[in-house]
Chains A and B, each alone.
Chain A
């Protein structure tokens, strides 16, 4: 797998679009997170009225330990959508330039091609998870007054990794099936931003819990919006169940990708 990744790295290391999007994520997410924390803590410090203090207690301090882990994971998830787009681009480029055919002609098996792309996926997940961890730690250290138990709630970083994995798997599936760059990105964004949310809305009406099992919501629900007061949370499904459902989705996407790609004609 590492050998395949080294070849993938040769492909992308001088690809400008890769660096723009990748560094965009690596730079803008930490800056945005730190600035939002700074502004938030500043406004909190200035709040004097009772109402503001009530809101403050409802919000439950999103930028201090232990809640900072939720906030870092949640905001990382927002920015991570860029990585999904980048991942689509890296796959559809191959189809467009027919280099996926050339890779096979040169001696990769079809599984090698998929494994190589999967190694990039793991790389993206690992790097962004590490970033979420570091930025959560830094912001927590800077703004927390009580640092007795900083790693409480660290499992949210794990949920982030799971979320990153599922989002990229979906991007992988869309790119392999759709092949065209523009169309793949449009479909990916509409799934992420519209379809999944609409499905969630429909299926959470009347307090149904089915909505939490929608393809992306399943993992989004694991990291709740930290700015949404807890009392508005209606989810009763256990985290553990959602984790299992997410893994099931990932496995389903993997099996569709493998089944399709192994028997399809590689055309543009």
Chain B
């Protein structure tokens, strides 16, 4: 079942199309990454489904029968930058958020502890560092233990330890069966925590699917090959033998190893078993999956927008 369904979402600012007919679905209980360069329309997209921006054309639909206003109360959202009252303490800011969401103040203490801000809860927001502001914003999204969370650049402004903590938190939330929609321009982040990814560039949806699908489907839409690197004591013998295995497309010598270009359905186990049966013991076997970065650059072109 889809948590969120976008249908031909278009947003124009004057003559500029920030989003151009974007359609996709966010399945339940996934970590759905929205990946794109700066200015690609990620925040615009999230702003529209949160009703702070008005769509030019197209529709969106959250799961459930309630009005979108009531639904937003059950979604934890961090959009772009932490938005809080500067003269209020972290705790008082969360009280306001909890009241708007129609929740009690019971879990404020808990969410502050989750993001390590409990000690500073009485300090005014404008005394917080950038990382603390970001953590307060994440704490705010956790109020009321929502089933759906929307994060826009969640690790923005955090130090490496903070980044790792937030990633662990997102994984833990996913483990509890929650759906997380996350916009990011950090490939590494998406690759590490997301199950699904949509790539947007200049407001146009380039590709969407599970991370594995996106990594393996070539730009032309055909199933791409998998690259596997193997080595043995006698590489020339290995080359002759492995060439006979069905599914192996090409074999190229690379230094003191062989690089096999195989069909996607070939697993490393098959290759290992095959060679062993033929009397060759492999001393190295590496599946060289394409990284999301390579795919991202293939899809978006390697030049930065604007």
Q: Contact partner of A97 among B47, B51, B74, B83, CB < 8 A?
A: B83
Q: Contact partner of A107 among B52, B95, B101, CB < 8 A?
A: B101
Number of interface residues, chain B, beta carbon within 8 A: 30
Majority SS at the chain B contact face? loop
Give CA–CA (A264, B83) in the complex, Å.
Answer: 19
Hey, which chain B residues are within 8 Å of A110, CB to CB? 51
Stretch of B84-92, B203-211, B234-242 with 4 or more beta carbons under 8 angstroms from chain A: B84-92
Q: Contact partner of A102 among B54, B67, B83, CB < 8 A?
A: B83
A15 adjacent to B84 (CB under 8 Å) = no
A265 adjacent to B83 (CB under 8 Å) = no
B95 adjacent to A104 (CB under 8 Å) = no
A265 adjacent to B88 (CB under 8 Å) = no
A107 adjacent to B69 (CB under 8 Å) = yes
Hey, which chain A residues are within 8 Å of B50, CB to CB? 104-105
Q: Contact partner of B54 among A11, A99, A106, A264, CB < 8 A?
A: A264
Q: List residues of B (77-99) whose CB comes within 8 Å of A's CBs.
A: 77, 79, 81, 83-88, 92, 95-97, 99
How far apart are A91's CB and chain B's nearest CB, in angstroms?
13
| B53 part of interface (Cβ distance < 8 Å) | yes
Q: Mark A1-31, 1 if CB is under 8 A from B, else 0.
A: 0000011001100111000000000000000
A106 adjacent to B72 (CB under 8 Å) = yes
| A263 part of interface (Cβ distance < 8 Å) | yes
Q: List residues of B (240-259) whose CB comes within 8 Å of A's CBs.
A: none
Q: Contact partner of B97 among A97, A102, A263, CB < 8 A?
A: A102
Give CA–CA (A112, B99) in the complex, Å.
Answer: 13
How far apart are A119's CB and chain B's nearest CB, in angstroms?
14
How far apart are B154's CB and chain A's nearest CB, in angstroms?
15
Hey, which chain A residues are within 8 Å of B85, CB to CB? 11, 15, 97, 99
A105 adjacent to B79 (CB under 8 Å) = yes
| A244 part of interface (Cβ distance < 8 Å) | no
A97 adjacent to B100 (CB under 8 Å) = no
Nearest-CB residue, chain A, relative to B50: A105
Hey, which chain B residues are within 8 Å of A11, CB to CB? 85, 88, 96
B69 adjacent to A266 (CB under 8 Å) = no
| A109 part of interface (Cβ distance < 8 Å) | yes
| B5 part of interface (Cβ distance < 8 Å) | no
| A180 part of interface (Cβ distance < 8 Å) | no
B69 adjacent to A105 (CB under 8 Å) = no
Hey, which chain A residues are within 8 Å of B77, CB to CB? 105-106
Interface residues of B (CB under 8 A from A): 47, 50-54, 67, 69-70, 72-74, 77, 79, 81, 83-88, 92, 95-97, 99-102, 140
Taking A15-B87, A107-B73 as known contacts, 10 extra A-B pairs with beta carbons closer than 8 A to each other, sorted by chain A number, are A11-B85, A101-B52, A101-B83, A103-B100, A106-B73, A107-B100, A108-B69, A265-B47, A265-B53, A265-B54
- List 4 A-B pairs, minimum CB-CB distance, nearest first: A107-B73, A102-B83, A109-B69, A98-B83
